[in-house]
Structure 1
């Protein structure tokens, strides 16, 4: 399978490395220092828990031309960067453009540029950080999947052959992946969750261990998350996936859980470090979600307090 990963950050590197190790023909679009690193050394993935290092060789380009054809173009960029590349994607001949991008504002702009027939959607359960040219990573597996699994879908909601194939490729590459028929609801639910977590962490300079020791701060975050889910319902959006129903449990129970979880290295890797490096994106996502809050007409005092940390 011929795949282009458009974006060479942490997520793009994890996807490219694992897909290449599974014998797919993988190309990464990168620029600057990252282009040179990938061209000279390939991708080095480091499991922080086991210290195992995997090396993957990938093709590297610094521009996507109109006639460059791929089975899938997978866009792995922050929301703040995507608008700048839409014209490039619109001119390319590839038929399957997969936006693995955070958003709460829907897909109208993407549809205008690439068309409904080419648009596919997804979101990763993966993350980590780059250090000295290596990617120290995690992939959502086991109990972590109770929180989030790498997910793909179609704008139409149909389970098509091409989305089935993509999910199969990812599963074969040891990135557990599933289908969702309501990706817009899925992504809005995700933004309602991550913006409140990020805003809470910003109040502690992304020091998750310190944050986890503050019962009141964690409880405020829980209230913000639950307000966000109320905003979705008021707008006629069912929080998705259903397995996150536990976020509607009493705040006292969730506060105890998150207080303990935030004092782990897993929370540091999966949440705190990402928030520290993605503040402009979180501001953008909060602005998108604010539109949903305004439309809902309901009061969100916890979210309002947390937003001040931005």
Structure 2
């Protein structure tokens, strides 16, 4: 399969490496220092648990031209970076463009740029940290999938042959993946979840271990998530996927669970380190979710309290 990964941050690098290892013809679009790193050394992935280091060569470009056609273009970028590349994607003739991008604002701009027929939506269960050209990574497997699984869907909600093929490609690359018929609800649910978690972390300068030692602040985080889910319901959106129903457990029980989880290296990898690098994106996601809060008419005192952490962070 001929695949372009547009963006070579942590997620783009993980996707590029794993898809290339499974014998796909992978091209990545990168710029500046990252372009030079990949040109010289390829994609380098390190599993922090096993210390297994994987290296693979991929084709690298710094410009997407209209006549460069791929079976799939996978856009793996932060939400605040996407708008500027929409004109480039609009001109390209590839038929399947997959936005693996966090958003609670819907897909109107993406539809306007690439059209309903080309638009596909996804989101990863993966993460990590990039240092000196190498990515220390994780991919959501086993119990981690109880929280989140890499997920793909169509703009129209149909389970088409092209989305089934994409899921098969990712599963073959050992990135467990599933289909969702309502990616808009899925992503709005995800933003309801990660904004309260992220804002709680910002109150501790993204030190998840310190946050995990504060029962009261973790309780605020849990209550913020619950308020966010209620906002979704008031807007006619069922929290998605249904497996997140465990987040409806009583607040004291969830608080203990999250206190324990926050004191793990997994929480550091999948949550805290991302918050450090993604603050501009988190501000934009909070702004998008604020519109849903306003539309719902819900009172969200805990979310408002947590938001103060986001805007009080250094550099705000």
Q: What SS is found at the alignment partner of 1:26?
A: strand
Q: Is 1:99 equivalent to 2:99 in the alignment?
A: yes
Q: Aligned residue for 1:38? A: 38
Structure 1 residues not aligned, in runs of 5+: none
CA distance in 2, matches of 1:161, 1:123: 19
Find runs of 4+ consecutive structure 1 residues off by over 2 angstroms.
none
Q: Is 1:256 equivalent to 2:239 in the alignment?
A: no
Q: Give the drift of 1:234.
A: 0.1
Instruction: Kindly provide the CA deviation profile for residues 132-179 of structure 1, in whole angstroms up to 9, marking residues without a partner as x.
Output: 110000000000000000000001100000000000000000000000
1:17-56 aligned at under 5 Å gives the runs 17-56=17-56
CA distance in 1, matches of 2:279, 2:251: 26
1:103-122 aligned at under 5 Å gives the runs 103-122=103-122
Q: Aligned residue for 2:90? A: 90
- How big is the alpha-carbon RMSD for the aligned residues of Structure 1 and Structure 2? 0.3
Q: Is 1:233 equivalent to 2:233 in the alignment?
A: yes
Q: TM-score, normalised by structure 1?
A: 1.00
Q: Aligned residue for 1:300? A: 300
Q: TM-score, normalised by structure 2?
A: 0.98
CA distance in 1, matches of 2:277, 2:61: 25
Q: Aligned residue for 1:128? A: 128
Instruction: Kindly provide the CA deviation profile for residues 48-104 of structure 1, in whole angstroms up to 9, marking residues without a partner as x.
Output: 000000011100000000000000000000000000000000000000000000000
Number of matched residues? 310
CA distance in 2, matches of 1:248, 1:82: 33
Q: Is 1:60 equivalent to 2:49 in the alignment?
A: no
Q: What SS is found at the alignment partner of 1:156?
A: coil
Instruction: Kindly provide the CA deviation profile for residues 247-302 of structure 1, in whole angstroms up to 9, marking residues without a partner as x.
Output: 11110000000000000000000000001110000000000000000000010000
